[in-house]
Structures are given as structure tokens and as C-alpha cells.
Amino acid sequence: MKILVCVTSVPDTTTKIAFTDNNTRLNKAGVTFITGPYDDYALARAVELKEKTGASVTVLNVGEADTEPVIRKCLAIGADDAIRVNAEPTDAYFVAEQIAAIAQETSYDLILMGRESIDYNGGQVHGIVGEMLGIPSISPVMLLDIEGDTAQITREIEGGKESLEAKLPLVLGCQEPIAEWKIPNMRGIMTARTKPLKVVEPTGTDKLTTVDSYELPAPRGAVKMIPAEEAETLIQLLHNEAKVI
Amino acid sequence: MSVLIFAELDEGKIKKSSLEAIFYGAKVAEMTGTSATAIIAGPADDAELASAGRFGATKVLHATDPKLTEPNGMAYATVVAAAVQQEGSKVIVLAKSSLADAMTARLAGKLKAGLAANVIELPDLSNGFLVKTSIYTGKAFAHNELKADIKILAIRKNTITPEEKDGTAPVETFTPALNEADFAISVKNTEKSSGDILLPEADLVVSAGRGLKGPENWGIVEDLANALQAATACSKPVSDLDWRPHSEHVGQTGIKVSPNLYIACGISGAIQHLAGVNSSKVIVVINKDADAPFFKSADYGIVGDVFDILPRLTEAVKAL
Ligand SMILES: Cc1cc2nc3c(=O)[nH]c(=O)nc-3n(C[C@H](O)[C@H](O)[C@H](O)COP(=O)(O)OP(=O)(O)OC[C@H]3O[C@@H](n4cnc5c(N)ncnc54)[C@H](O)[C@@H]3O)c2cc1C
Ligand SMILES: Cc1cc2nc3c(=O)[nH]c(=O)nc-3n(C[C@H](O)[C@H](O)[C@H](O)COP(=O)(O)OP(=O)(O)OC[C@H]3O[C@@H](n4cnc5c(N)ncnc54)[C@H](O)[C@@H]3O)c2cc1C
């Protein structure tokens, strides 16, 4: 079985977001980049499937050279090889086109992604790739088991979940509790250095969306504290002042 | 040409978030000098469908094929793409949801559409087609220019306040050709709590964290939620520990909510939790630790013990 895991390189979840160049670029000074937390779930499950069934795991990122530390970390966690499409990933359709092009070259049985990126929170790339390849896409996936060419899947729906069965190949957007996040060990880090990382140039150049500028939310006003012994007045304030109940 | 709105049903009723999308779509139609058509798939009676007119739809296309009874993102995308073609639509509007996400992505792939997710305002048409979206899980906004011929706007809850007017929309049965491949996934079992207020749809949310000490203590959270007719939510450790179902987990790696009111009980306010809730209109924090970081992001705060405060708030709500 061949598994392709698509990962983003995104600011750490604790990052205080700021912009530069007249609010047209993310200020990367002091920002630590990590694999998207949902992509980490996808990778962890892929590595488990590799350990269980001997699948091969390829990691794919569409990004510029500065994403390589994140890719190396995925190799350290257990992926066998990696591909980087050398382009700024500034549009979901464009990114999906790159992933679909790679997937068309090698036929993967499973393409695992995160449920959504934590920078643009689109939650779209898996579905677009599925459409481009003409195969089913399912998200958000909470449990995944493979038996032969059939996948047993639990997907979250609003207010609950459903169990699904589908034939490979599939594109899946993953979330917890599909697997536990994995931390690379020393041996993994050492071997990752020599695992193949292929860099390819992008195909197609269509950017269907661009960002003109960014903005930070206005800070919330000062908090109004209510003494515990008068807690009931909160309900009056929500009713009469904030008018939300 | 028309603006096309994809509206979802929940147990035969148009979802509240979809009514917001219809109203938003009708506004965009007004701005661009066209009309607003809603496309709805699945079983619902004509009176319910026609009520889309009260929110500005001038026509409703009803996809009635029994194969569409169960929500199916891929099949719905085929239906919506056919409607786009029939209506000559250039702008498609929908409310963000798990079904809408699945549908939208397939649709964008089919139509090569420019897609903006988490739209939070009406578009700015003064110079091109600009939309403001929420990015970095609510930590920032982007002004996106949509350059493709066909544009899809997935709006976040509370983007616009729908105004109802009199009127109904004519309902036309819509029977496009379906694609067998869209039904390749078989649903074996669905577990869904029925009757409860769906968290992503809720105007009011009562959320609790590890400060509640254990699942056996959730009664006081549910009592307050019931009194307010609010949905319940929780922090990540609470769902990790299986105290509450995963579908209640909010934050960076959970559901993102933007209700009118978010009440956080015994939650410390980690940045990853805030990321999923900070676009709520009003935030109330109840925590026994006066230094809990959540107070910095709150509108109202009470330093106190949830086991004392919550039952008193429930009584105060009942007395309103
Ligand atoms: C400088 C810069 C500017 C950007 N500007 C924009 C912008 O203007 N508009 C915009 O939409 N996005 C922008 N992003 C790109 C964003 O990081 C995404 O890569 C891409 O747009 C898809 O976003 P999404 O939220 O739709 O992804 P989602 O659909 O939420 O992602 C789902 C999954 O798809 C996979 N995936 C997504 N992106 C990649 C990738 N690059 N490589 C490999 N797998 C991936 C991951 O598994 C991810 O979990 C920008 C990124 C950078 C670095
Ligand atoms: C990559 C990543 C992603 C994450 N994603 C999420 C996410 O999506 N959502 C999320 O919630 N977290 C997320 N987290 C975890 C987050 O960092 C915090 O650990 C978590 O939010 C803490 O949950 P909590 O507030 O319930 O628990 P705690 O931090 O333990 O806080 C409990 C609070 O309860 C208060 N308390 C205790 N007893 C009482 C009482 N009797 N009365 C009143 N108050 C009381 C305490 O003072 C304390 O402030 C993520 C972390 C990482 C690293």
C-alpha cells in the first residue's frame, strides 16, 4: 500500500500573529513553524499503518525552501521519503493542483491530509484533490482501519458521528482521535537526514484568489468583573446591557 | 444570472445558518443587480422551502431525488454544479458546516471557482471582488480578492443579521442527472443526538473545562444550558478524557464557534482554546483563579467556584 501524507508548515499554535510591509505579509520574526496539528494526526496514522501493514509513506508539502525543517521532522517521525513542490502555497486550488499532479504520477492508495490548515482554515484541499482525481474524499475522519482494499472510517458530523465503508483509493482529511501525535526519537532524527527529499517545480500557475492585505481584530474592551456574591446580576447584565439573552 | 445559495436542511427544516446564508446571498444579488436562487436537496415540504422567500430568495430549486435524502457532500456538489449551469450563477453562497465544507471543495474542483472560506462581511465590489475572511483560527483577518469567473463564499455564523419580510419563493423541482460515483461511500451507522441544539448553529453556548473535575459533575453545566436554551461545549482535555463527546470540543483543533454568548466555566483560557471561541460576540468567564488568562479575553468575569456559581445563574435565568 502506498500512502501520501500532505503537510503544511504553519506558525506554532501559541504564535501571536503580526503583519509587516503595510499589513501585506506575515511577520515571521520569532515565529516557530510546525507541521499543522491536523496533518500531524494524518502522519501519525500513516506511520501506524506502515508499522502494521508495511505500507510506504511519502510526505508532500507545497512550499518554499524554508519549509524543509518541517518536512525533515515528518521523515524523522517515520515517513520514508518526501516531495516538496517549490512554490508559495497561496491559493487552495493551486495547492490542490500540485498535489493532484504528484498523485497522478504515482498511484497512491491513500492520500491523507489534515482536516484543515491552521493558517487559512479552509478545509478544502482534500475535497478539491478528490474531485481532480475523480476519487471519493471524506473529512473529518476520526478513525481509520484498512482491510485489503476497503477502509472502515468514522467521520464526525454535526452533533455526532457516522461509520462509513469505502474502497481505496481515497482522500481523507484527518483529526483526533485517529492516532496519537508522534514525537521523533534520536534514531529517527539521524535517519531523516539521509532520507530522500525530492524538490519539483509547480505545474499550472492559476491563482484564483490573492490576499490584498491583512488585519488584526480590534481588542476586546475591558472585562467587567462581578463579585461572586452578586453572581446573579450577571444574568441581568446579559439581558439588559449586552442584550444577548 | 443569479446568486445561488446552497441551503441545508436539518430534520426537514432549513437550518438557521442557511437562512443567514440566504439573506446574505440576497444582499449580494441586490449589490450585483441580479436575483437570488436557493438550491435545497433532501426531503422538506413546500411551505418550508417557500419560506426561503422571507429571507430574500426569489426562487427555490428543490432536488427531490430520494438518493439525496441522506446528506452527501459529493452528490450535493454534482447537484449544485448543475444548478449553477442552469441559472448561469457567478456567485455561490453557503453557510460553513461540515457538510458544506465537503460540498464546497468538490464544487470548487468542478467549477474551478475562487473560494473564500470563513467570510465575515458582505463583499466589497468597489474595485474587483474583495471579501474579508477570518484566518489563523480567528487571530487575524484577510482581505481576499477573488479573481476566478465563478466565486464561492462560505460564510461564518453571525456574519449578518437576517431580517425577515413577508413573501414566499416559488419552488421548482430540480432533477439533474446524478453521478453514480458520488455514492461509492456506504454509510453503515449514524449516531446523532437528536433534539439537542447543534453546537455550530447555537446562538448561546455554555462551555466547561477541567475545572469541573469529572463527567459526573456536568449536570450543573447542562442545567444552565437548558435554562438558556444553549448548546454545551468543552475544552480539549475534557473530550480527550472522554468526559464529553468529541463533537463538543471547541478550539484550535476542535469546532470553531462564533455565538452571541459564550460562557466558559472552569476553563483556563489557553491560546489554543481561545482561537476557536474568540469571535463570540460576548464572552463570560467563571473561574476560581483570578489570574486565569481567560479573564483578559472576557467581557464579563466572575472569580468564583463553578459549583457555587452555576446553580445560582441557572436560578437567575429561570427567574427572568
Ligand atoms: C506566504 C503565504 C501566503 C498565503 N496566502 C494565502 C492566500 O492568500 N489564500 C489562501 O487560501 N492560502 C494562502 N496561504 C496558503 C495556505 O497555507 C494553504 O497552503 C493553502 O492555501 C490551502 O489552504 P487551506 O486553508 O484551504 O487548506 P485546507 O484545505 O484547510 O488544508 C487541508 C489539508 O490540505 C493539506 N494542505 C494544505 N496546504 C498544503 C500545502 N501547502 N502543502 C501540502 N499540503 C497542504 C494539508 O494536509 C491540510 O491539513 C498562504 C501561505 C503562505 C505561506
Ligand atoms: C497543538 C495544540 C492544540 C490544542 N487545541 C486545543 C483546542 O482545540 N481546544 C482546547 O480547549 N485546548 C486545546 N489545546 C490544549 C490547551 O493548550 C489547554 O491545555 C486546554 O485548553 C486546557 O483545558 P482546560 O482549560 O479545561 O484545563 P486547565 O488548563 O487545567 O484549566 C482548568 C481551569 O479550571 C479552573 N478551576 C478549577 N476548579 C475550579 C472551580 N471549582 N471553579 C472554577 N474554576 C475552577 C482552574 O483555575 C483552571 O483555570 C491544544 C494544545 C495544543 C498543544
* For chain B, domain boundaries: 2-183, 199-318
Q: What is the pTM of this model?
A: 0.92
Burial class of B165 by CB neighbour count within 10 A (0 to 12, 13 to 18, 19+): exposed
R_g (Cα) of chain A, nearest Å: 21
Q: Can you identify the CATH homologous superfamily of domain B199-318?
A: TPP-binding domain (3.40.50.1220)
| Residues of chain A neighbouring B233 (CB-CB closer than 8 A) | none
**Mean per-residue pLDDT for B137-150?**
92
Out of A127, A210, A238, closest to residue B109 by CB:
A127
Report residue A228's pLDDT band, with 50, 70 and 90 as the boundaries: very high
User: Residue A115: closest CA among chain B residues belongs to which residue?
Assistant: B253
Which residues, numbered 10 to 39 in chain A, qualify as contacts with chain B under a Cβ-Cβ cut-off of 8 Å?
A: 11, 13-14, 16-17, 19, 37-38
Q: B270 CA to middle of ligand 2, Å?
A: 6
What single-letter amino acid sits at B176?
P
Number of structural domains chain A divides into: 1
Report residue B194's pLDDT band, with 50, 70 and 90 as the boundaries: low
CB count in 10 Å sphere of residue A53: 11
B2-183 and B199-318: same fold?
yes
**Mean per-residue pLDDT for A38-53?**
95
The yes-or-no verdict on residue A184 having pLDDT over 70 is yes
Report residue A121's pLDDT band, with 50, 70 and 90 as the boundaries: confident
Number of the ligand closest to the Cα of B278: 2
Report residue B91's pLDDT band, with 50, 70 and 90 as the boundaries: very high
CATH number of residue A158's parent domain: 3.40.50.620
CB of A35 closer than 6 angstroms to any ligand 1 atom: no
Q: B312 CA to middle of ligand 1, Å?
A: 46
- Inter-chain CB pairs, A–B, below 8 Å: 273
The yes-or-no verdict on residue A12 having pLDDT over 80 is yes
3-class secondary structure, A197: strand
B204–A123 C-beta distance less than 8 A: no
Average pLDDT, rounded, for chain B: 94
Cis peptide before B176 (omega within 30 of 0): no
Owning domain of residue A59: 2-217
Distances in Å between the Cα of A28 and the Cα atoms of A16, A33, A66, A206, A219 are 10, 9, 11, 26, 22
Cis peptide before A37 (omega within 30 of 0): no
**Mean per-residue pLDDT for A134-152?**
95
Report residue B83's pLDDT band, with 50, 70 and 90 as the boundaries: very high
The yes-or-no verdict on residue B3 having pLDDT over 70 is yes
Report residue B247's pLDDT band, with 50, 70 and 90 as the boundaries: confident
Backbone angles phi and psi of B96, in degrees to 5: -65, 135
Reduced to 3 DSSP states, what percent helix, strand and coil does chain A have, rounded to the nearest 5?
30, 30, 40
| pLDDT for res A158 | 84
**Among A111, A145, A157, the residue to mutate for chain B (most B Cβ within 10 A):** A157
Q: Is the dihedral of CA B305, B307, B313, B319 positive or negative?
A: negative
- Residues B22-52: tens digit of each pLDDT: 999 999 999 999 999 999 999 999 999 999 9
Report residue B236's pLDDT band, with 50, 70 and 90 as the boundaries: very high
**Mean per-residue pLDDT for B169-187?**
94
| pLDDT for res A47 | 96
DSSP code for B268: -
Residues 6 or more apart whose Cβ sits within 8 Å of residue A210: A90, A91, B144, B145, B147
CB of A140 closer than 6 angstroms to any ligand 1 atom: no
Which residues, numbered 76 to 135 in chain A, qualify as contacts with chain B under a Cβ-Cβ cut-off of 8 Å?
A: 92-93, 96, 118-132, 134
Q: Which CATH number is associated with domain B2-183?
A: 3.40.50.620
- Residues A191-214: tens digit of each pLDDT: 999 999 999 999 986 788 999 999
- Residues B252-303: tens digit of each pLDDT: 988 999 999 999 999 999 999 999 999 999 999 999 999 999 999 999 999 9
CB of A122 closer than 6 angstroms to any ligand 1 atom: yes
The yes-or-no verdict on residue B1 having pLDDT over 90 is no
Closest to A137 in 3D by CA, of B108, B40, B63: B108
